[in-house]
Structure 1
Amino acid sequence: MAEKDRGPERPARRRRPPAPPAPHFPRPYARPATPPDRACAHVTPDGARIAAFVYGEDLAGTPVLMLHGNGEEHAIFGPVVDACVRAGHPVVALDSRAQGRSTRGSAPLTYELLAADAAGALEGLGLSPAHVLGFSDGAIEGLLLARDRPELVRSLVAVGANLTPEGVRDEDGWLESARASLEAWAAWWREGEGAALVRSGAVDPALLSPTPDEAAREAELLRLMEVEPHIGAASLAAVRCPTTVVAGEFDVIEPSETRAIFSAVPDARLVVLEGLGHSVPKQDPRALARILLETIAFAERR
């Protein structure tokens, strides 16, 4: 008996792409009400363009350098920028490499590299030395600047810093999960089944949210948190500027790590903000502005 004609073969069903990854730090924040006087780029030796925003440039006070956390941009310090300008201090706020309006460059990503970017931008603007406010990754960069480039740093407020990857609590595996989700999204559209849709013109990757390039960049930034930093607490004895170490009561940074930083920096002050988590600049910018201006006033009295 002849085999029944089955008609044309149906194409294989395409698997669905991975779920679009959520922003890993989505909490809203208030941007600066003060308009910038300058928005420019510092070009690094490896070709990165570090976006720098200067607020209150004509003010007479000592400048304040602000360094944000992983996956963010400078405007998370909005109300703190405004408070500094009202107090008479110019503000230099950077978008760190591969974040905000700054580009990636080609050098391997390390906290030492990010600190060097900040030093280069500050010197290039002619606004050093400065008081430094760093949050999370930015606080790590601030510690490195104060230790290794003391001539650039008048005082330091380090919010939510850690010395080792183990210093970040990851009890539910959120860090690895977020990174894996971003990597899967980038890979599906770049080399996986989604790549055929891109090649055919059915999908414009620039219209995806996030784009494959954005997802890969965010995954690289999260990987940085998984493998770095490696800062010996004893090395922070070289920090000589007035320093305030800040953490939230429910911070993702291990309390032992915060205390190790506080104990290592000579004459440091420790402030633990009750009821707050890690995102102090977003949760209570007024408290952060007060702590920063207190630290600046103390440093300038000295």
Structure 2
Amino acid sequence: MIQKTIITLALSIFAQFSFAQEAKSPFDTTTYGRNPAVGKYADIRGFKMYYETYGKGEPLLIIHGNGGSINNFLYQIPYFAKNYQVIIADSRAQGKSVDPTDSLSYEMMTDDLNALLDKLNLKSCYVIGWSDGGINGLLLAMRHPDKVKKLAVTGANLWPDSTAVDPFVYKWAVNMNKTVQDSAKKMKSPSPAIKNELKLLHLLSYEPHITIEQLHTITCPTLVIGGDHDVIQPKHTMLIAQSIKNSYLWIIPNSGHSTPIFKKDQFNQVVGDFFSQEFRTIDQFGRFN
């Protein structure tokens, strides 16, 4: 059996407990991620990337996490589509963006998103990224700085060890990776689904590898978000914020990793305010305000 990665696990738990009295969760019934009226495929760097767009206004790119898809942001799409042109895609090897190749990296996915923006003739945009999507957001601001006007990331990490990730979760991810690898080795011909899951699990267990020096190159205003009981340790989230010159830090109390779901109202309002308001430098006597 293919194991669930962090985002799909979070969504399954949400469906089980928050909607126990309903026949189906909103993630099963939403049209986001399977909307024929707006869904399109773009030929991007050797595969067909599925994406949807909603609303009008300045462009806003939203990036999902490991094993996720467009529908993970069912609470953000309608909120932000009131004021922005929301562009949201299934990342390479996830959702409807099928990629049969053996390799997958955050850098590849980041360059895919940059290519999608180029294809849509978008010179710059606001960006929201959750979990692996947050990692991709950071990399987009580093690798293609002209593309990112403002960046909000939640639950992102810089490296794959227990100094960044909660030790229990880190051990679980590594063990899950090993379990699926061992199972695949016993098969004469692992299915494409298992091969794909191994690519995602490799990211979960052994990447990314972003340095503090790389973070120093980010110049766009950045809102760094994490739950106080996140999968990513709060001290690591703080380190990310402290390493980006123009950054705000928001640690959400009584919150885990799924801030766009369980803290959706707070998340939408604070991120929306961050995008719409001028970024200010708080220093010297300004710290007393």
Fold shared, TM-score > 0.5 on shorter chain? yes
Query: Structure 2 counterpart of 1:55, which letter?
Result: Y
* Contact 1:36-1:55 within 8 A present in 2 as well: no
Q: Give the structure 2 partner of residue 14 of structure 1.
A: none
Q: Give the structure 1 partner of residue 177 of structure 2.
A: 179
TM-score by length of 2: 0.81
Q: Give the structure 1 partner of residue 4 of structure 2.
A: 23
Aligned partners of 2:210, 2:115: CA distance in 1, in Å? 21
Q: Give the structure 2 partner of residue 42 of structure 1.
A: 42
Aligned partners of 1:177, 1:111: CA distance in 2, in Å? 21
Instruction: Determine which structure has more spread, i.e. the larger CA radius of gyration.
Output: 1
Alpha-carbon displacement from aligned partner over 1:4-32 (angstroms, at most 9, x marks no partner): xxxxxxxxxxxxxxxx3442333237456
Alpha-carbon displacement from aligned partner over 1:25-75 (angstroms, at most 9, x marks no partner): 332374566767532222233x2222111112xx2x211100000011121
Match 2:225 to one of 240, 246, 271: 246
Q: 3-state DSSP class of the match of 2:277?
A: helix
Aligned partners of 2:122, 2:116: CA distance in 1, in Å? 9
* Contact 1:154-1:299 within 8 A present in 2 as well: no
Alpha-carbon displacement from aligned partner over 1:213-264 (angstroms, at most 9, x marks no partner): 2232122211112221111112222212111000011011122321111011
Aligned partners of 1:80, 1:111: CA distance in 2, in Å? 23
Aligned partners of 1:40, 1:212: CA distance in 2, in Å? 27
Answer 1 or 2: higher relative contact order, Cα 8 Å, separation at least 6: 1
Does residue 98 in structure 1 map to residue 97 in structure 2? no
Q: 3-state DSSP class of the match of 1:97?
A: coil
Q: Give the structure 2 partner of residue 77 of structure 1.
A: 73
Deviation at 1:282, TM superposition (A): 2.4
Q: 3-state DSSP class of the match of 2:127?
A: strand
Does residue 150 in structure 1 map to residue 145 in structure 2? yes
Which one is further off, 254-263 or 29-38?
A: 29-38
Residue ranges of structure 2 left out of the alignment (5+ in a row): 16-24, 282-289
TM-score by length of 1: 0.78
Q: 3-state DSSP class of the match of 1:238?
A: coil
Aligned partners of 2:36, 2:74: CA distance in 1, in Å? 11
Aligned residues: 259
Alpha-carbon displacement from aligned partner over 1:74-94 (angstroms, at most 9, x marks no partner): 2101111110012x2110001
Aligned partners of 2:26, 2:242: CA distance in 1, in Å? 33
Q: Give the structure 2 partner of residue 163 of structure 1.
A: 158
Match 1:126 to one of 105, 112, 121: 121
Query: Structure 1 counterpart of 2:262, which letter?
Result: Q
